[in-house]
Structure 1
Amino acid sequence: MFADMRRIAGLAWPVLIGQLAIIAFGLIDTVMAGRYSAVDLAALGLGSSIYVSVYVGLTGVVLALQPIAGQLFGARREAEIGEQVRQALWLAAALAVLGFTLMAFPGRLLAISHVPPALYHRTELYLRIAAVGLPAALVFRVYSALANAVGMPRLVMILQIGALGAKIALNFWFVFGGFGLAPLGGPGCALASTVINFVLAAIGITLLARLDVFAPFGIFSRFSWPNRRRQAELLKLGLPMGLSYLIEVTSYAFMALFIARFGTTTLAGHQIIGNFGAALYMTPMSIGIATSTLVAHALGAHRYDAARSLARHGMTMAFVIGCCYAAIAFILRPAIIAGYTPNPAVIAAAMPLMPVMLVYHVFDTIQTATSFVLRAYRVAVVPTVIYAVALWGVGLGGGYWLGFNVGGFTPAWLIGARGFWAANAASLAVAGCGLFIYWRSVSTHFQAKAIVDPVEPHLATTPTRSAHDETA
């Protein structure tokens, strides 16, 4: 058990540091926009919720590369990895067109929240600036997916830490103005991120072409047009993965849209709690990614018992650490919230949401680790159905029913933003239980397959075939 945990930790800590650097983008945005004005903080919360929904949904499709490349790497079929990367880049380009269109014309999405005109226009500007950087962000995700798949997360972490330093400097400049530039407020945060996304994409492509660790894959050794079979393979896994990401994020995004109806102050408090919750989420996500990588390698080598053991130990590790985080954050909650904003009204709005969010976080550790493990098994359709029922049904539907007191039976303390957070915590409990039960069934099926036919590769792995045999 402890040997597995050490292996997981060895891959998880660079992922965690890199992801904390990225989540610090949101922290910096929240703090600086909050210092600029309450309207800009609210616009940031609303705009970032929509952006994250679009970006994460599309990223989930692109990240199908990670379990596919991970299994190929475990099976020592390096030549096929390069072709999969080329196809993933084509897929990222197509998805970028879709994402840009959604964010550049956000009128219908913003209409749901019934926000005042000033908030509407600030949010619209934020989204249009962020839309420009979306293609570069997706290209960088291809790079990070491959680096994580082959067990080299430090190559991603270094770039993310460097990006954080640039983000701080650019945010100060764009948000508050200077050197001939007028202050942009909240939209300045989007401009800083857009610049950084293009720099990261350029560096990522350069490293894929020149680093020795990627040389065996021959990523840019030949040109490939989109290949129907390869694209179908990516989409078969990527579409349900993307949809599950979209379900998870939109359950939060629509929560922000509905909470906006309670006023700017309530939305600002929700933004603070959501941002801190996202920071806590980075640890179970990092453990999930690390566990998924090792499980994919084991599955590619047909070591199904090892895959099951690694998965179980990764889930346990995520849950225990999540409980420790929740206990510490509950004790320190006044200081944590005060660090985000000096506004007493916003602090008062955020404080009662913190305990509910911490319960949400504990359940989140279970479902996060399990969902990443299932992706390593290249199983995504059933988990997506579980997500839809739990997060959209129990979470968003239940939150609307509680928060707006639709039935007239909601306790007073659950009316408003707290009702939405409570329903979402319940939804993650349902999702976590459902995903864990399904993982046990899937892993048992793999083990049974190995006993019956220990030589034949499992149906989840692709047939052995050189990428050079593919026709464009």
Structure 2
Amino acid sequence: MNSTENLKQKTGQFLRILFPILITQIALSLIAFFDTNMSGRYGTDDLAGVAIGTSLWVPIQTGLSGILMGITPIVSHLLGSGRKNEVASKVMQGIWLSLLVSVLVIAAGSLLLSPVLNFMNLEPEVERIARRFLIAIGCGIIPLFGYTVLRSCIDALGQTRISMFITLIALPINVGLNVLLIFGKFGFPELGGAGAGVASAITYWIIAGVALLFVTRAETFAELGLFRKFHAPSLRAFREQLKIGTPIGFSIFFETAVFSAVTLLMSRFDTITIAAHQAAINFASTLYMIPLSICLSLTILVGFENGAGRQRDARQYSRLGISSAVAMSLVTALVLLLAGEHVAGLYSTDPKVIELIQHFLIYAIFFQISDAIATPTQGVLRGYKDVNPAFVICFVAYWVLGLPLGYILAVHTDLGAYGYWIGLIAGLAIGAALLLGRLVRVERRFSASGHGAE
């Protein structure tokens, strides 16, 4: 990355960072999309089982990945302040931390999976598919979390095209494995929805291996000397990363978990409603990759400028990113309005399921607008290493206000399942307003101080 002098140069650098991240995030979401879509094509029970499994897995995966992504602002600040020689040790400590987190998740999963699924009182076939899906995907936890650290380092260096390349390799591999393992093609076992979990686990191992080859062999990373020296685990380094990463991880967890909580609460509805809800959430999550990509880009760019003490440049990047996200949210809202029926038809051939998906997608329009403000704003705050208030805001907006409101509307009014979506919309809107207010205060503080974060 380079320092920039005017808006035109900033726009160019912003797009160079953003575009590969956007392609990467879309490809990652397409992996989940094809898991859900292909499971739905196999059967409604498989779609519901994968929906339940995904609802349990995604908050854990994204929340813990968020903790490990704390390496991004750390590396960005080191680069901005000219301390490249410290990057290798920070990345190695991130890998050690990812291994520790992986072991803890596997241990917790082995103890809690059965009690959680039994508590949900699912239909027997749906529970069986969800259990097998989660056990299968658990076999890929170690490489997935390791890859998260490597990708965060790659992106922090501005080499987002490499992450894009790796993910674009992963997408056809995952889809091909789904064909083989969900439908049992070419002599492979026919596993149904559980096959999507096996395919994902195998894909995680492949992308981790490719990323490791890049950071150890590519000339771009040569001067950093990654993995050339052994760095023993350091509790001090763990504390530094956890201080930044834990609030980031919890913020992500609270946002993703509230959607999963709604899916789990909706288990009292019939299988068709669960399947339609999950299909609509899946497509909304695909559109969410736009503001999320802008968020990740802003963390890198604002962190770099803040590390160098260029506060005016950091503010210009934040305004450029947030305004771009809002503009794109209006485009995605138009897509949902005009093409809702075609989108629903991608997930199912059952007319009842398609009709319900269409209804849920109308509510998803309002998600896009709130996310376009809240998500990039969090990216800017992470660039300033201001992460604790965002964590509190997300918890209050989503869990104290949004989810209880949704529950009341769903259980005590005639809105039924739609009540949960209204609650989510309210929580997201409140969160967006509070996060934007926090950003204004942070920018004023840094402008007054005239220097970057420590």
* TM-score, normalisation: structure 2: 0.96
SS at match of 1:59: helix
* Residue number in structure 2 paired with 1:467: none
* Residue number in structure 2 paired with 1:101: 107
> In structure 1, which of residues 68, 75, 87 is the aligned counterpart of residue 74 of structure 2?
68
* Residue number in structure 2 paired with 1:465: none
> Within 5 Å, which residues of 2 pair with 1:169-208?
169-208=176-215
User: Structure 1 residue 240 and structure 2 residue 250: aligned?
Assistant: no
SS at match of 1:351: helix
Shift of 1:179: 3.5
Task: Determine the C-alpha separation between the residues in 2 that align with 1:364 and 1:188.
Answer: 32
* Residue number in structure 2 paired with 1:468: none
> In structure 2, which of residues 13, 34, 42 is the aligned counterpart of residue 28 of structure 1?
34
CA contact (8 A) 2:41 2:347 kept: no
User: Structure 1 residue 257 and structure 2 residue 264: aligned?
Assistant: yes
CA contact (8 A) 1:9 1:287 kept: no
> In structure 2, which of residues 154, 160, 167 is the aligned counterpart of residue 147 of structure 1?
154
SS at match of 1:378: coil
Residues 353-377 of structure 1 show CA distances to partners (whole Å, capped at 9, x for unaligned) of 1111111121111111001111111
Shift of 1:432: 0.7
> In structure 2, which of residues 252, 270, 275 is the aligned counterpart of residue 268 of structure 1?
275
Task: Determine the C-alpha separation between the residues in 2 that align with 1:351 and 1:234.
Answer: 42
User: Structure 1 regions of 5+ residues with no counterpart?
Assistant: 462-472
SS at match of 1:127: helix
* Residue number in structure 1 paired with 2:409: 402
* Residue number in structure 1 paired with 2:345: 338
CA contact (8 A) 1:55 1:99 kept: no
* Residue number in structure 2 paired with 1:358: 365
User: Structure 1 residue 278 and structure 2 residue 285: aligned?
Assistant: yes
Task: Determine the C-alpha separation between the residues in 2 that align with 1:370 and 1:2.
Answer: 21
* Residue number in structure 2 paired with 1:464: none
Task: Determine the C-alpha separation between the residues in 1 that align with 2:321 and 2:116.
Answer: 38
Residues 17-70 of structure 1 show CA distances to partners (whole Å, capped at 9, x for unaligned) of 111111111111122111111000000111011111111111011000001101
**What amino acid is aligned across from residue 144 of structure 1 in structure 2?**
R
Task: Determine the C-alpha separation between the residues in 1 that align with 2:35 and 2:17.
Answer: 28
> In structure 1, which of residues 87, 92, 95 is the aligned counterpart of residue 93 of structure 2?
87
Task: Determine the C-alpha separation between the residues in 2 that align with 1:397 and 1:111.
Answer: 24
* Residue number in structure 2 paired with 1:447: 447
Task: Determine the C-alpha separation between the residues in 1 that align with 2:213 and 2:16.
Answer: 26
Residues 197-250 of structure 1 show CA distances to partners (whole Å, capped at 9, x for unaligned) of 001111111211111211222221211111122111101011111111111111
Task: Determine the C-alpha separation between the residues in 2 that align with 1:114 and 1:238.
Answer: 35
* Residue number in structure 2 paired with 1:433: 433
Task: Determine the C-alpha separation between the residues in 2 that align with 1:319 and 1:110.
Answer: 39
Task: Determine the C-alpha separation between the residues in 2 that align with 1:140 and 1:106.
Answer: 25
Task: Determine the C-alpha separation between the residues in 1 that align with 2:133 and 2:439.
Answer: 40
> 201-210 or 432-441: which moved more?
201-210
**What amino acid is aligned across from residue 419 of structure 2 in structure 1?**
G
Residues 309-337 of structure 1 show CA distances to partners (whole Å, capped at 9, x for unaligned) of 11122111111111111122211111111
Task: Determine the C-alpha separation between the residues in 1 that align with 2:160 and 2:253.
Answer: 24
* Residue number in structure 1 paired with 2:3: none
Task: Determine the C-alpha separation between the residues in 1 that align with 2:47 and 2:277.
Answer: 11
Shift of 1:132: 0.9
Task: Determine the C-alpha separation between the residues in 2 that align with 1:181 and 1:249.
Answer: 34
Cα distance change of structure 1 residues 361 and 117 upon mapping to structure 2, 3 Å threshold: same
Task: Determine the C-alpha separation between the residues in 1 that align with 2:410 and 2:135.
Answer: 30
User: Structure 1 residue 53 and structure 2 residue 59: aligned?
Assistant: yes
Q: List 4+ stretches of structure 1 deviating above 2 A.
A: 1-7, 101-105, 107-114, 178-182
Shift of 1:97: 1.0
SS at match of 2:29: helix
Task: Determine the C-alpha separation between the residues in 2 that align with 1:108 and 1:421.
Answer: 27
Shift of 1:425: 1.0
Of all paired residues, the percent bearing the same amino acid is 30
Task: Determine the C-alpha separation between the residues in 1 that align with 2:280 and 2:108.
Answer: 26
Cα distance change of structure 1 residues 102 and 348 upon mapping to structure 2, 3 Å threshold: farther
CA contact (8 A) 1:360 1:422 kept: no
User: Structure 1 residue 163 and structure 2 residue 179: aligned?
Assistant: no
> In structure 2, which of residues 37, 46, 49 is the aligned counterpart of residue 43 of structure 1?
49
Task: Determine the C-alpha separation between the residues in 2 that align with 1:341 and 1:209.
Answer: 44
CA contact (8 A) 1:322 1:361 kept: yes
Task: Determine the C-alpha separation between the residues in 2 that align with 1:121 and 1:209.
Answer: 41
CA contact (8 A) 1:337 1:350 kept: yes
User: Structure 1 residue 221 and structure 2 residue 243: aligned?
Assistant: no
Shift of 1:2: 5.1
> 278-287 or 211-220: which moved more?
211-220
